[in-house]
Amino acid sequence: MTDPDIDLAAAKLRQQLADHLAAGGWLRSPTWRAAVEAIPRHVFVPRFYAETDAPGLTTWKPVTPQLVGVDKWLRQAYADETLITQFGGREIDWADPQPISNARPTSSSTLPALVVRMLEDLDVNEDTTVLEIGTGTGYSTALLCHRLGAHRVTSIETDPAVAARARGHLAHCGYRPRLLTCDGLLGYPEAGPYDRVIATMGVRSIPSAWIKQTRPGGLIVATLRGWMRSLGLVRLTVDDNGTAQGHFLSGDPSFMIARQQDAPESLGMIPAPDEGETRATAHGPELLTMADSGFVAQLAMPNARFFSMPADDGTVSTYVLDATNDAFATLTPSGDEWTVRQGGPVNLWDDVERSLALWQAADSPAPSEFGVTVTPDAQRVWLGSSDGPSWHLPG
Ligand SMILES: C[S@@+](CC[C@H](N)C(=O)[O-])C[C@H]1O[C@@H](n2cnc3c(N)ncnc32)[C@H](O)[C@@H]1O
């Protein structure tokens, strides 16, 4: 394919992508549609890894024009899929790219449906200034530049190699927004205050810098997450007294966590068999993995992680460990029921069951019935209204 052929094919694929995003209800306004139809996503992902449907461990395969052909590469670049560009914080060896399994993606071009729904949720107009955290490939930054003008866009990327590539891709498209290579959790006060802050990576709580750097009445759109799972997308309105409040939005989107907030490398010590107190419980580990109850469990145990492991007799137990205070809960099947053994400074499973009971008493509402209040002193997720049952986010 010659370059003009690529441009022609890409323009058609962009229209198809825009049609798909509009049909799904993600792309709602003509102005964002114009941005999706204009920005060449393939320029931002000259090579990437795409998830395969192989059973078992999640596996990604390399995709470049040389490896799969220009036509296939181009079609994948415009698929409504997340395209991974970095694993484990290390650069990919593109001299000899191999399939990758069981790795932790650390940079990507996010799922277009999620990118455009967040941009729609950002509720901008022509004069809006935006601080974006997590430049990544620069694709979402380019959409913002198209919609608002590059002079209204500031974007921060923490990884120098990723940031350098994004700068190149944006310049190729003729965009020169303010790009910073630093920790976006600190924002960039020099160019603030901003009308909007949008984060394309997950955070455990809303950084106070983002609130300080948002104009009163401005919006923050970000995903909250823990070390077990994502909590979801929130949209907060910043007040004029340094507080912010808003609701979780519908859907179950997930982002990679901010690098500075990643879970500790070690999962912690597996408790000795004679440690802790054992009792029966009505809830097994599926509570942690099911969408809505998993959300509640994440709120109840903000510092926990879990894994399952067979004992010598083949019985599979699930270990829930708090990375910060050595609390543990071990779930073991007992006939058709479960037992839990808990120890450490707090009883993790008691906390989960209390939270679950509150949620069930309210008719097990979806996460969009929960909201968040952020003050300079504390961050709380609440159910129903700000004086309803609430859970603290880690500080
Ligand atoms: C999902 S990717 C961003 C996708 C991007 N918006 C796009 O459209 O290509 C998340 C990015 O956030 C970056 N990141 C993680 N922690 C960060 C931090 N504290 N400050 C700034 N960037 C961060 C990662 O290096 C990664 O490139």
Residue 70 has a pLDDT of 96
Asked if the structure places residue 226 within a domain, the reply is: no
CB 122 within 8 A of CB 219: yes
- The pTM assigned to this predicted structure is 0.95
Residue 219 has a pLDDT of 98
CB 160 within 8 A of CB 170: no
Test site for ligand 1: of 122, 131, 135, most ligand atoms within 8 A of the Cβ:
135
Among 29, 101, 109, 266, the one annotated catalytic: 101
Whether the bond into 193 is cis, omega within 30 of 0: yes
Asked if the structure places residue 389 within a domain, the reply is: no
Residue 195 has a pLDDT of 98
Q: Whose CA is nearest to atom 26 of ligand 1?
A: 107
Round to whole Å and give the CA distance between 154 and 137: 15
pLDDT tens by residue, 63-103:
999 999 999 999 999 999 999 999 999 999 999 999 999 89
Residue 53 has a pLDDT of 87
Round to whole Å and give the CA distance between 274 and 269: 14
CB 205 within 8 A of CB 139: no
Q: Is 101 a catalytic residue?
A: yes
Residue 63 has a pLDDT of 98
The atom number, within ligand 1, closest to the CA of 109 reads 9
Tokens of 307: 């894994």
Range list of H helices, the chain: 3-23, 30-38, 41-44, 65-68, 70-77, 112-121, 139-148, 160-172, 208-212, 286-289, 291-300, 348-361
CA distances from 180 to 43, 158, 299 (A): 20, 8, 32
Nearest of 198, 210, 35, 220 to residue 132 by alpha carbon: 198
Test site for ligand 1: of 48, 200, 210, most ligand atoms within 8 A of the Cβ:
200
The atom number, within ligand 1, closest to the CA of 132 reads 6
136 CA → ligand 1 middle, Å: 5
184 CA → ligand 1 middle, Å: 9
Neighbours of 273 (CB within 10 A): 9
Nearest of 250, 251, 197, 220 to residue 379 by alpha carbon: 220
> In the beta sheet, which residues pair with residue 133?
156, 199
Residue 186 has a pLDDT of 98
Tokens of 356: 């679950």
Tokens of 108: 């990507």
Tokens of 189: 């006060």
At a CB cut-off of 8 Å and minimum separation 6, what does 255 contact?
110, 134, 199, 200, 201, 202, 223, 225, 230
Asked if the structure places residue 72 within a domain, the reply is: no
At a CB cut-off of 8 Å and minimum separation 6, what does 263 contact?
227, 257, 305, 323
At a CB cut-off of 8 Å and minimum separation 6, what does 388 contact?
362, 382
Round to whole Å and give the CA distance between 281 and 34: 54
CB 145 within 8 A of CB 153: yes
CB 142 within 8 A of CB 130: no
DSSP assignment of 22-46 equals HHTTS---HHHHHHHHHS-HHHH-S
91 CA → ligand 1 middle, Å: 14
Asked if the structure places residue 315 within a domain, the reply is: yes
Residue 200 has a pLDDT of 96
Q: Which residues line ligand 1 (CB under 6 A)?
A: 106-110, 115, 133-134, 136-137, 139-140, 156-159, 162, 183-185, 200-201, 255-256, 258-260
CB 378 within 8 A of CB 189: no
Q: Position of tokens 């019985």? A: 315
pLDDT tens by residue, 267-280:
777 888 889 999 99
At a CB cut-off of 8 Å and minimum separation 6, what does 55 contact?
none
Round to whole Å and give the CA distance between 250 and 120: 13
Tokens of 210: 């983002």
Q: Provide the domain limits for residue 316.
A: 277-359
Asked if the structure places residue 370 within a domain, the reply is: no
Tokens of 55: 């059973």
Asked if the structure places residue 292 within a domain, the reply is: yes
CB 200 within 8 A of CB 222: no
Q: Whose CA is nearest to atom 7 of ligand 1?
A: 109
The atom number, within ligand 1, closest to the CA of 82 reads 1
Weakly modelled stretches of the chain, pLDDT under 70: none
Number of domains in the chain: 1
Residue 188 has a pLDDT of 98
Residue 156 has a pLDDT of 98
163 CA → ligand 1 middle, Å: 9
Residue 51 has a pLDDT of 94
Asked if the structure places residue 282 within a domain, the reply is: yes
> What CATH number did the domain enclosing 313 receive?
3.30.160
At a CB cut-off of 8 Å and minimum separation 6, what does 5 contact?
none
Asked if the structure places residue 186 within a domain, the reply is: no
Long-range CB contacts (within 8 A, 24+) of 287-291: 287/352, 287/356, 288/228, 288/318, 288/320, 291/252
